Chains A and B, each alone.
Chain A
Amino acid sequence: GAVVSQHPSRVICKSGTSVKIECRSLDFQATTMFWYRQFPKKSLMLMATSNEGSKATYEQGVEKDKFLINHASLTLSTLTVTSAHPEDSSFYICSARELGGLETQYFGPGTRLLVL
């Protein structure tokens, strides 16, 4: 149980284009999903917390107009990187917390984004 999927697993795009990443909880309902960014050999950096049916809460320094988050249902959250630039290239990981759960986060496999 507690499986989270992410799609796509890898994406290469041209500078200036937008990229959408999907995060789905497959066998549980997630009221809260988290979006992280991770650079090589670095810690997970929380970008935003996404609650179903409400606006996402962004961490300091994360541009909400650049990283659009939508959490339309209890099993799906999307992150759209708008007008992507090479510096947006990174490993993006989502996680989900079960409905009623307060502690453990279940992570997706991650999405490797490369902006040329």
Chain B
Amino acid sequence: SQKIEQNSEALNIQEGKTATLTCNYTNYSPAYLQWYRQDPGRGPVFLLLIRENEKEKRKERLKVTFDTTLKQSLFHITASQPADSATYLCALEGHYQLIWGAGTKLIIKP
């Protein structure tokens, strides 16, 4: 079955630097992959979707890449700010539902 691996350890980044989060999957390459942001005690918020035929997608300071050979997606936040601190979840298209990673906590230090 499909499994998603996200770094369970918190990622500490200095303000202004680029934060890079990793999402690895183990089985079939999904038709699309999504990234969400979740703040403590809140529901996830959709950020970006990238399809299997897209190598890269950008939205303001966010960039997502999708490498089906490596079975990996990278999520970048450039010029990071303390307000970017949150848990970021990766989700893959499954059979009529999303398969979720456990998320990586990102901490941007001023």
| Other-chain contact of B42, A34, A46, A104, A110 (Cβ < 8 Å) | A110
The list of the 4 closest CB pairs from A to B, nearest first, reads: A107-B43, A43-B102, A44-B100, A43-B100
Show the binding face of B for A, using Cβ within 8 Å: 32, 34, 36, 41-46, 49, 89, 93, 96-98, 100-103
A93–B44 alpha-carbon span in the complex (Å): 9
Known: A34-B97, A104-B34. A44 touches B44 (CB 8 A): yes
Q: Can you report 14 A-B residue pairs in the complex whose CB atoms are below 8 A from each other?
A: A41-B102, A42-B102, A43-B100, A44-B89, A46-B97, A46-B98, A91-B41, A94-B43, A95-B43, A107-B44, A109-B42, A109-B43, A110-B42, A110-B43
Q: B89 to chain A: which residues have CB within 8 Å? A: 43-44
Q: B42 to chain A: which residues have CB within 8 Å? A: 109-110
Show the binding face of A for B, using Cβ within 8 Å: 4, 6, 34, 41-44, 46, 49, 91, 93-95, 103-110, 112
Q: Tell me what chain A mostly uses at the interface: helix, strand, loop, or mixed.
A: strand
Closest CB in chain B relative to A11 CB, distance in Å: 14
A93–B41 alpha-carbon span in the complex (Å): 10
A42–B46 alpha-carbon span in the complex (Å): 18
Q: Given known contacts A44-B44, A107-B45, A110-B43, what 13 new A-B pairs fall within 8 Å (CB)?
A: A41-B102, A43-B89, A43-B103, A44-B89, A95-B44, A103-B32, A103-B34, A103-B49, A103-B93, A104-B46, A107-B44, A107-B46, A110-B42
